[in-house]
Amino acid sequence: MRELQEEAKLRMPWQDVILQTSVRVLIPFIQLFGLYVVAHGHYSPGGGFQGGVILGAAIILMALVFGLPASKHYISENVNKTLSITGPLVYCGIGALCVLFGGSFLDYSALNKILPLGPIAWRSFGIFLVELGVGIGVMSIMLRIYRVLSSAGTIDQGL
C-alpha cells in the first residue's frame, strides 16, 4: 500500500491512461455541443454565455488532464488574448455597423442595406452574430481565468 502510494506520487498527475483516453474521446463532442448551444441561442434555451462556458470548459478539461503546456500548445496565450479582444469587438462592431447604416445601436434591421435578406431575417441573423461574439469572448476569458488561478499568475506550469 505505502509503496504503491509513493510510486503514484512520483508520477506526474496527468500521466493517466484512462483519463487521457476518455477525455480524448469526449472533447470534440463537448465542443460540438458548445457550438450547438451558441447557434440555438435565439429561439431555444442557450446562448452566447452558456455556449462560451461549455467551449471554455472543454479546453479547461484538456488542461486538467494533459497538463497546462498541452493546452497552451492548442490555444497559445497570444491567440487567447486576441480572441478575448475579438469577442467584444464583434459585439460592438455589429452594433456600430447598425448605427452607421442608419438604425439605432444593435437595431439589426438596418443591416438590410448591406445584403437584402429582409428586416426580419436580419434581426434573427444579427442576434446570432452578436451571440457568436459573446461566445468567443466568454470562452477565452474562462480559459484565461483558469490558467491564471491554477498557476498562481505564472502561466507556465499548471496543477
Partner 1 sequence: MSILSVIVAVLLLLGVFFFIIGAVGIVRFPDFYSRLHAAGKCDALATALSLMAIALFNIRDFDWALFQSWDNLRVSLKIVLIILFVYVASPAATHAITKAAFIVGIEPWEKRKRNR
Binding region for partner 1 (CB under 8 A): 1, 4-5, 8-9, 13, 16, 18-19, 22-23, 25-26, 29
Which of 61, 83 has the CB closer to partner 1?
Answer: 61
CB-based contact 60:142 (threshold 8 Å): yes
Least Cβ distance, residue 13 to partner 1 (angstroms): 8
Least Cβ distance, residue 11 to partner 1 (angstroms): 9
d(CA 88, CA 136): 8
Least Cβ distance, residue 121 to partner 1 (angstroms): 22
Q: Dihedral of the CA atoms 138, 139, 144, 146 (nearest 10)?
A: 100
For the chain, give the number of residues: 159
Which of 22, 76 has the CB closer to partner 1?
Answer: 22
Least Cβ distance, residue 8 to partner 1 (angstroms): 5
What's 46's DSSP letter? -
Q: Which three cell numbers stand for residue 32?
A: 460540438
Which residue in this structure is represented by grid cell 488574448?
A: 81
Which of 27, 75 has the CB closer to partner 1?
Answer: 27
Which of 18, 115 has the CB closer to partner 1?
Answer: 18
d(CA 143, CA 120): 35
